[in-house]
């Protein structure tokens, strides 16, 4: 329940400064930027492939926007007010984030929530009834290793505190632009849960909502998962299903974000004695390869485009250092996106790279994977492998140029807000019941044989510890 303020009614009873305003939006091949809630189910694990979905969304023409072929859009009218009757709007901004355990005691239940998410462990439909038992098993096995990591960074995740600070900063940045909104924080796996934020949005009688996931790039496992939760709650609720909502799906291509990242990199390079010789090492959180190759997750494409845009910006500033991208934080026995950060660090050391600047690029606040994995594990590995000078770019946090850009993204998204439909997308209920019972029966037998196999369990243990 993280309404940053309860004073949400605009002083003039309407959204100010939006009418007949033009926005120039940088074009992107792989991110439709915003969409209204109607198509949120597109990213559910059983829906269309991500790439098909993106195409279908890109062809849509959201309310109040006209798309040019260059990808720029112009706001041509406001659904917020009419010339004769100004509707009193109460605008909400919902920030979505992952959430993290606040104490060591929270670690195992946090991991349970994470692994119980069907967008994190994607079981075939037949085996989905095993999701929670499997989550219990994996969370218990994984907890000791995770606890060590959280203990090393002070006994808990800083994510809630930082996200709250970002919420306050976005609210202030919008106020500076004469737009008064309530900002809510909804976490996927820990407090304050997305469900709590939505309850508060209802209590506050918000009339128009912008959803801003704090992940620059879209992945089924992050933004997609949170949107799936939102959709399922909104679909079941009379008020929420009529609430105009606009979702900013990804924003890695926004010039404000790219400039802010380039600023941080430029600043950190100056700390090295020979800045030009430093390798810029982008390290992104990985996802299993199957997300990208089978489920159509646009994450890898967006990540590569993001790195390209940051490097272009640096080049325009006269900085043309060598750079590379690798993926960190893999979990479990499946293949993840390659190259892996730990392997690349060793290779670079062997090849004679002496100075390296690590740039975390998939997240905008400090968390266990920057503070422990990069700053401790990877730094140690890099120095051991022959790299002599190590640096790390801080996460964006509340950097003012970045926060201002997110505030602009909210303003630009607002006119596209649209109510979601109440159509059910569940296929389960459409399935022939005999067919369903047969699948459940044989599925259960197969799943238990697999799960109880000692070989399987020991494989899991090796990967998780």
Ligand X SMILES: C=CC1=C(C)c2cc3[nH]c(cc4nc(cc5[nH]c(cc1n2)c(C)c5CCC(=O)O)C(CCC(=O)O)=C4C)c(C)c3C=C
Return the structure tokens found at 59.
């062809």
With 0-12 CB in 10 A as exposed, 13-18 as middle and 19+ as buried, what is 249? Answer: buried
Give min distance, CB of 198 to ligand X, in A.
21
Q: Of 136 and 321, which CB lies nearer to ligand X in the complex structure?
A: 136
**Least gap, CB of 142 to ligand X (angstroms):** 6
Spatial distance between the Cα atoms of 465 and 149, rounded to a whole number of angstroms: 12
Residue 98 within binding range of ligand X, rule CB under 6 A: yes
Smallest separation (angstroms) from ligand X to the CB of 345: 18
**Which lies closer to ligand X via its Cβ, residue 335 or residue 422?**
335
Residues 375-394, interacting with ligand X (CB under 6 A) = none
Nearer to ligand X among residue 155 and residue 275 (C-beta): 155
How near is the Cβ of 163 to ligand X at its closest, in Å? 10
Nearer to ligand X, 45 or 182 (CB): 45
295/345 with CB nearer ligand X: 295
**Length of the chain, please?**
465
Is residue 331 a contact point for ligand X (CB under 6 A)?
A: yes
Q: Between residues 266 and 377, which has the closer beta carbon with respect to ligand X?
A: 377
Contacting ligand X (CB under 6 A), which of 50, 288, 360, 443? 288
In the complex, least distance from residue 55 CB atom to ligand X, rounded to whole angstroms: 22
- Total residues contacting ligand X by CB under 6 A comes to 22
Smaller CB separation from ligand X, 159 or 309: 159
- From the CB of 146, what's the least distance to ligand X, in Å? 3
User: CB 51 → ligand X: shortest distance, Å?
Assistant: 17
Cα 96 to Cα 93, 109, 264, 407, 419: the distances in Å are: 10, 20, 24, 15, 19
Q: Which stretch binds ligand X (CB under 6 A): 88-96, 234-242, 281-289, 380-388?
A: 281-289
- Determine if 287 is a binding residue for ligand X (CB under 6 A): yes
Does 249 engage in binding with ligand X (CB under 6 A)?
no
d(CA 285, CA 140): 23
For ligand X, which residue of 228, 367, 392, 418 counts as binding (CB under 6 A)?
367
C-alpha to C-alpha distances, 426 to 38, 168, 317, 436, 439, nearest whole angstrom: 15, 37, 51, 14, 17
- Directed axis angle between helix 433-452 and helix 131-152, to 10°? 50
Tell me the window of 175-183, 284-292, 344-352, 380-388 that interacts with ligand X (CB under 6 A).
284-292
The answer to whether 100 contacts ligand X (rule: CB under 6 A) is yes
CA 71 to chain centroid: 23
Subset of 214-233 contacting ligand X (CB under 6 A): 215, 219, 221-222
In terms of CB distance, is 18 or 325 closer to ligand X? 325
Query: Contact between 28 and ligand X (CB under 6 A)?
Result: no
Indicate which single residue of 4, 15, 116, 120 sits in contact with ligand X (rule: CB under 6 A).
120
Q: Which residue is nearest to ligand X (CB)?
A: 100
Among the listed residues 44, 157, 200, 249, the single contact to ligand X using CB under 6 A: 157
| Nearer to ligand X (CB atom), residue 244 or residue 288 | 288
Least distance to ligand X, CB of residue 463, Å:
11
Out of 114, 134, 295, 359, the residue judged to bind ligand X by CB under 6 A? 114
**Out of 102, 106, 301, 369, the residue judged to bind ligand X by CB under 6 A:** 369
368 binds ligand X (CB under 6 A): yes
Determine, following the binding rule CB under 6 A, whether residue 362 of this chain makes contact with ligand X: yes
CB hemisphere CA count around 358 (13 angstroms): 34
Residue nearer to ligand X on the CB measure, 188 or 208: 188
User: Any contact of residue 182 with ligand X (CB under 6 A)?
Assistant: no
Distance CA 212, CA 204 (A): 18
Cα separation, 235 vs 127, whole angstroms: 25
Q: Is residue 146 involved in binding ligand X (CB under 6 A)?
A: yes
Q: Which is nearer to ligand X, 23 or 191 (CB)?
A: 191
Residues that bind ligand X (CB under 6 A): 98, 100, 111, 114, 120, 142, 146, 157, 159, 215, 219, 221-222, 285, 287-288, 331, 362-363, 367-369
């Amino acid at each position: 329940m993280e309404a940053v303020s309860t004073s949400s009614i605009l002083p003039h009873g309407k959204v100010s400064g939006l009418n007949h305003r033009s926005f120039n939006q940088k074009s992107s091949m792989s991110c439709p930027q915003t969409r209204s809630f109607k198509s949120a189910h597109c990213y559910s694990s059983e829906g269309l492939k991500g790439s098909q979905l993106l195409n279908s969304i890109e062809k849509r023409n959201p309310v109040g926007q006209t798309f040019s072929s260059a990808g720029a859009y112009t706001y041509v009218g406001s659904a917020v007010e009419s010339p004769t009757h100004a509707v009193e709007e109460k605008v909400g901004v919902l920030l979505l984030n992952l959430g993290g355990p606040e104490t060591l005691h929270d670690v195992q239940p946090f991991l349970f929530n994470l692994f119980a998410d069907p967008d994190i462990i994607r079981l075939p439909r037949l085996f989905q009834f095993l999701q929670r038992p499997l989550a219990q098993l994996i969370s218990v096995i994984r907890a000791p290793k995770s606890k060590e990591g959280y203990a090393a960074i002070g006994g808990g995740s800083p994510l809630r505190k930082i996200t709250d600070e970002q919420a306050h900063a976005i609210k202030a940045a919008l106020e500076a632009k004469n737009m008064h909104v309530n900002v809510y924080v909804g976490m996927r796996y820990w407090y304050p849960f997305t469900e709590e934020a939505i309850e508060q949005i209802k209590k506050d009688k918000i009339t128009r909502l912008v959803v801003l996931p704090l992940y620059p790039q879209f992945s089924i496992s992050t933004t997609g998962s949170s949107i799936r939760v939102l959709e399922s709650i909104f679909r079941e609720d009379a008020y929420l299903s009529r609430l105009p909502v606009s979702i900013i799906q990804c924003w890695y291509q926004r010039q404000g974000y790219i400039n802010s990242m380039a600023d941080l990199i430029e600043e950190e390079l100056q700390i090295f004695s020979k800045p030009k010789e430093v390798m810029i090492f982008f390290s992104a959180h990985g996802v299993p390869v199957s997300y990208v190759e089978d489920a159509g997750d646009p994450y890898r494409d967006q990540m590569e485009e993001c790195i390209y845009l940051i490097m272009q910006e640096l080049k325009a500033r006269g900085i043309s250092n060598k750079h590379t991208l690798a993926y960190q934080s893999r979990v479990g026995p499946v293949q993840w996106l390659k190259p892996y950060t730990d392997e690349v660090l060793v290779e670079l050391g062997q090849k004679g790279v002496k100075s390296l600047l690590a740039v975390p690029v998939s997240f905008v606040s400090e968390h266990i994977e920057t503070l422990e994995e990069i700053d401790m594990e990877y730094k140690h590995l890099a120095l051991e492998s022959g790299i002599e000078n190590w640096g790390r770019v801080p996460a964006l946090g509340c950097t003012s140029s970045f926060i201002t850009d997110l505030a602009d993204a909210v303003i630009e998204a607002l006119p596209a807000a649209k109510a979601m439909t109440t159509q059910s997308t569940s296929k389960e209920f459409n399935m022939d019941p005999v067919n369903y019972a047969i699948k459940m029966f044989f599925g259960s037998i197969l799943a238990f044989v697999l799960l109880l196999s000692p070989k399987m369990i020991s494989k899991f243990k090796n990967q998780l510890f």
